């Protein structure tokens, strides 16, 4: 139990009133140069830091933060950020910040419009969201800018959208990591496949970058002479599995597959029960975790969507309540998940 210096003590030391101290503390002017410097010096010397509790109590601000995400089933990707948001909801309530969750139907654009407009009606002070429906979200973000509602994009989203922060993962580096994990200890003559199972409606920028990163890894490690090939197939295609099967059997000496999105579980359907192909995928969906558990695949790169959402709300809170600007881009460290690490998720 020690004591922290207060503005009152600074005032006494400087022979002024607390009002004056407060004025220099917040650069509110109306203070002579001499006393300003005197007070600044004293603050410096005694290492003064304002009491957050008193500060926030006096400011007495209550904020509402909206979280906008797609509806989803249990075990899907979006359960994770939702969990993070709910944790934040709980943690920040005592700090006077309300977190409200808004879910829309990904397949129904009207649902998006309806839900997102409700965010404005409810007078939220800030928004956390993922840019899933690219174009619709884009115009929504334009409106946010107009109305001066700050927002943070998580996971995916265009960087020039006006977000105060973009929280995600370095996709390029993720691709490189995948390259490293796939090629690691393999024969020089091995062949690797990038299996891009696309979603027609929402082309994903991250996936592109991951593939580019994957390729760049092999460009930087030429001495290994691996062959890589990219194969794309739309998820909506009725014969996806068949097409993948054909592709696989057409390749000899295939030693590794990189699935640059969460669709490993589709690839799994096309694999023979006891294959010897190393597989690196993305995202800890329940289905994908099962694949790890059963050793059908080897590595999953975790985007840490839970942390993305939680940190996003934390940043919004600090932005609103303590005028702290978050970093423009926050890159969460890549997280490699193996069977033996599953217990943590």
Partner DNA sequence: TCTTTTTCCGTTAACGCACACGGAAAGGCA
Partner DNA sequence: TGCCTTTCCGTGTGCGTTAACGGAAAAAGA
Q: Are 302 and 174 in contact (CB under 8 A)?
A: no
Would you say 51 or 338 has its CB closer to DNA? Answer: 51
d(CA 280, CA 113): 36
Would you say 27 or 252 has its CB closer to DNA? Answer: 27
Which residues have CB under 8 Å from 95's CB, separation 6+? 56, 317, 321
Site string for a second copy, 62-81 (x = CB under 8 A): xxx-----------------
Would you say 57 or 135 has its CB closer to a second copy? Answer: 57
d(CA 100, CA 125): 11
CB of 88 to DNA, least distance (A): 20
Q: Which stretch binds DNA (CB under 7 A): 12-20, 249-257, 275-283, 334-342?
A: 12-20
Q: Which stretch binds a second copy (CB under 8 A): 126-134, 191-199, 203-211, 334-342?
A: 334-342
d(CA 97, CA 90): 10
Site string for a second copy, 206-225 (x = CB under 8 A): -----------x--------
Side by side, the strands of the sheet bearing 254-258 are: 227-234, 191-198, 254-258, 278-282, 299-302, 335-337
Q: Which residue among 94, 222, 250, 323 contacts a second copy (CB under 8 A)?
A: 94
DSSP-assigned beta bridge partners for residue 167: 154, 330
Count the site residues for a second copy by CB under 8 A.
46
The interface with a second copy within residues 177-196 (CB under 8 A) comprises: 177, 179-181, 184-186
Residue 200 interface partner, choices a second copy, DNA, none, CB cut-off 5-8 Å depending on type: none
**Burial label, 101 (beta-carbon count in 10 A; 0-12, 13-18, 19+):** middle
The interface with a second copy within residues 236-275 (CB under 8 A) comprises: none
Q: Which residue among 23, 210, 263, 278 contacts a second copy (CB under 8 A)?
A: 278
Binding flag, residue 200, a second copy (CB under 8 A)? no
Q: Are 51 and 5 in contact (CB under 8 A)?
A: no
Q: Write phi, then psi, for 231 (nearest 5 degrees).
A: -125, 125
Which residues have CB under 8 Å from 216's CB, separation 6+? 172, 175, 176
CB of 50 to a second copy, least distance (A): 7
CB of 2 to DNA, least distance (A): 12
Which residues have CB under 8 Å from 164's CB, separation 6+? 150, 151, 152, 315, 316, 319, 325, 326
Q: Are 253 and 207 in contact (CB under 8 A)?
A: no
Q: Are 132 and 104 in contact (CB under 8 A)?
A: no
Would you say 181 or 233 has its CB closer to a second copy? Answer: 181
Q: Strands 191-198 and 329-332: what pairing? A: unpaired
Nearest Cα neighbor of 103 from 145, 135, 138, 132 is 132
Q: Which stretch binds DNA (CB under 7 A): 16-24, 194-202, 217-225, 240-248?
A: 16-24
Q: Strands 97-104 and 151-154: what pairing? A: unpaired
Tokens linked to 165? 């922060």
Q: Which residue among 40, 57, 139, 242 contacts a second copy (CB under 8 A)?
A: 57
The interface with DNA within residues 23-82 (CB under 7 A) comprises: 23, 25-26, 28, 30-35, 50-51, 54-55, 57-60
Q: Which stretch binds a second copy (CB under 8 A): 17-25, 66-74, 91-99, 237-245?
A: 91-99
- Give the binding site for a second copy (CB under 8 A): 1-4, 49-57, 61-64, 93-96, 98, 123, 125, 173, 176-177, 179-181, 184-186, 217, 278, 298, 333-336, 338-341, 343-344
- Give the binding site for DNA (CB under 7 A): 6-8, 15-20, 22-23, 25-26, 28, 30-35, 50-51, 54-55, 57-60
């Amino acid at each position: 139990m020690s004591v922290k210096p207060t503005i009152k003590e600074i005032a006494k030391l400087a022979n002024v009133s607390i009002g004056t101290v407060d004025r220099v503390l917040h650069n509110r002017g109306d203070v002579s140069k001499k006393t300003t410097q005197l007070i600044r010096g004293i603050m410096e010397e005694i290492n003064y830091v304002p009491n957050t509790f008193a500060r926030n109590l006096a400011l007495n601000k209550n904020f509402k933060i909206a979280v906008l995400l797609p509806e989803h089933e249990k075990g899907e990707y979006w359960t994770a950020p939702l969990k993070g948001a709910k944790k934040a909801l709980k943690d920040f309530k005592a700090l006077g910040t309300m977190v409200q969750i808004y879910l829309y139907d990904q397949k129904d654009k009207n649902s998006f419009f309806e839900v997102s407009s409700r965010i404005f009606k409810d007078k939220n002070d800030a928004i956390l969201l993922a840019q899933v429906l690219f174009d619709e979200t884009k115009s929504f973000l334009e409106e946010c800018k107009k109305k001066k509602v700050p927002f943070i994009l998580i996971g995916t989203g265009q960087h020039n959208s006006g977000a105060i922060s973009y929280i995600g993962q370095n996709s390029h580096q993720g691709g490189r990591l995948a390259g490293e994990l796939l090629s690691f200890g393999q024969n020089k003559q091995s062949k690797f496949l990038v299996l891009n199972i696309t979603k027609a409606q929402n082309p994903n920028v991250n996936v592109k970058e991951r593939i580019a990163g994957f390729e760049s890894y092999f460009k930087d490690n030429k001495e290994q002479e691996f062959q890589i090939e990219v194969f794309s197939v739309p998820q909506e295609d009725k014969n996806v599995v068949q097409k993948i099967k054909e592709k696989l059997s057409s390749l000899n000496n295939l030693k590794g597959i990189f699935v640059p999105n969460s669709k490993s579980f589709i690839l799994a359907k096309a694999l023979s029960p006891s294959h010897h192909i190393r597989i690196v995928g993305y995202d800890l969906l329940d289905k994908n975790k099962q694949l790890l558990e059963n050793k059908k695949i080897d590595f999953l790169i975790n985007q840490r969507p839970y942390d993305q959402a939680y940190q996003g709300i934390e940043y919004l809170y600090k932005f609103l309540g303590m005028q702290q600007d978050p970093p423009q881009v926050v890159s969460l460290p890549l997280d490699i998940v193996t069977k033996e690490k599953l217990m943590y998720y």
